[in-house]
């Protein structure tokens, strides 16, 4: 069972890498996002204050909630500075 899950995960990674290479998807990671960039979260573009290995740090109120860190998997867009 574990082998099947690992195979499925690897297949998903390859598919995502191909989509990024084809320009159909954007890589959202510490390799592509830096402080000063804008990220799309919950329908709003927010300025990045810092980047960690797993998230971006922002300062702002989103949907009546104060947000300081957002994991990469929750971002839906990126605009370089």
pTM exceeds 0.75 for this model: no
- The reported pLDDT for the residue numbered 18 is 86
The closest alpha carbon to 13, from 29, 37, 34, belongs to 29
Rg over CA atoms, the chain: 15
Task: Find where tokens 């890498």 sit.
Answer: 17
Q: What is the mean pLDDT of residues 69-78?
A: 93
Q: What is the mean pLDDT of residues 2-16?
A: 84
pLDDT tens per residue across span 11-65: 888 888 888 788 887 889 999 999 999 999 989 899 999 999 999 999 877 667 7
The span from the CA of 12 to the CA of 5, in Å, is 11
Q: What is the mean pLDDT of residues 64-70?
A: 80
- The reported pLDDT for the residue numbered 47 is 93
C-alpha distances out from residue 76 to 2, 46, 73, Å: 30, 12, 8
Longest dimension (CA), the chain: 44
């Amino acid at each position: 069972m574990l082998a099947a899950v690992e195979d499925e995960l690897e297949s998903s990674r390859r598919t995502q890498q191909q989509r990024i290479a084809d320009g159909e998807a954007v890589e959202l990671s510490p390799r592509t996002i830096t402080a000063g960039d804008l990220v799309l979260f919950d329908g709003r573009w927010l300025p990045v204050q810092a980047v960690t290995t797993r998230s971006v740090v922002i300062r702002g109120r989103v949907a009546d909630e104060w947000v300081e860190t957002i994991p990469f998997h929750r971002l839906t867009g990126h605009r370089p500075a």
